[in-house]
Structure 1
Amino acid sequence: MQRVLLLVVIFVVSVNLLADDDASAQQPTISLDVAVNKVRGQYADGKIVKTDEEESGSGKVYVIKMITADNRVLHIRVNAQSGEIVD
């Protein structure tokens, strides 16, 4: 009986630890404001018209829609974990 109880406790603890790892992996490390400022720094001549959040295979990304000075529409994706601009 004690072995069964011990196994159940070990299982519950390990499941909780795994759930915590998944939750922390999903949380963004940069805010949308930081992502917008990063994009403004890279594309100074553009005007940001829309922002959005999406889930991708690698986690959350911020999508920033911008119109450039020559009227091109850009959809710039910023990884919410790393802060890197992705293609």
Structure 2
Amino acid sequence: MEKLLGKLYTVTNVAQMLGINVKVIYKWINEGKLTAIKLGGTTWRVREQDLKLFSMNSITYVVENIIIVVNMFDTKAKVCYRQW
């Protein structure tokens, strides 16, 4: 599968790499802000190239338990999430 899709990361891996809560990653996936592949049931994987694209087009700020994300593809420009 890796030859076809490239390197795949679990949602937990992505959350650890970005230093944020897993729930935020699931929220971004559900909102379409972060592209992910559903492998069945509740199993999601994020391709390395999709994570790189997201990271290149996003700036994340963490200020007192609030995560502010500025994404170039998002028409709202700033999205705030409370960290659980």
User: Larger Rg: 1 or 2?
Assistant: 1
Give the TM-score of the pair, scaled to structure 1. 0.29
Give the TM-score of the pair, scaled to structure 2. 0.30
Structure that is richer in helix per residue = 1
